[in-house]
């Protein structure tokens, strides 16, 4: 069973039973180990509520860059999205 659920805007978010246990600080810390484009794709895969909570915990110098990258994530190959989904699932366990 997938941990992802389709949002009304076509994006994805974690299922309700996973969302209840989200540790935003831990996720932000783990994402900082990734390339900015990977972080942007990961944030775009989450609900806007969760993405915004994580984004505001990241250093200010990277926030604007990530927002710009998120806007341009519409043409990401499905193989990359699947890899990012696996990374997020690992981080959120």
CB burial class (10 A; 0-12, 13-18, 19+) of residue 45? buried
Per-residue pLDDT tens digits for 28-64: 999 999 999 999 999 988 888 889 999 999 999 999 9
pLDDT digits (tens, 9 = 90+) for 66-76: 999 988 877 88
Question: Is 43 inside any structural domain?
Answer: yes
The CATH number for 71's domain is 1.10.220.30
In sequence order, what are the residues at sequence separation of 6 or more whose Cβ sits closer than 8 angstroms to the Cβ of residue 57? Answer: 24, 25, 28
Task: Please state the pTM of the whole predicted model.
Answer: 0.75
In a domain, 38, yes or no: yes
Task: Assess if residue 15 is contained within a domain.
Answer: no
Alpha-carbon separation of residue 73 from 31, 36, 56 (angstroms): 17, 12, 19
What burial class does residue 17 get, using C-beta atoms within 10 Å of its C-beta: 0-12 exposed, 13-18 middle, 19+ buried?
Answer: exposed
């Amino acid at each position: 069973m997938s941990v992802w659920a389709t949002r009304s805007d076509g994006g994805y978010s974690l299922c309700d039973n996973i969302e209840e246990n989200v540790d935003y600080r831990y996720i932000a810390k783990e994402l900082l180990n990734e390339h900015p484009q990977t972080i942007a794709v990961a944030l775009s895969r989450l609900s806007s509520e969760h993405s915004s909570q994580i984004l505001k915990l990241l250093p200010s110098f990277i926030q604007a860059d990530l927002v710009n990258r998120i806007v341009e994530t519409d043409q990401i190959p499905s193989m990359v999205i699947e890899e990012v989904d696996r990374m997020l699932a690992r981080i959120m366990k």
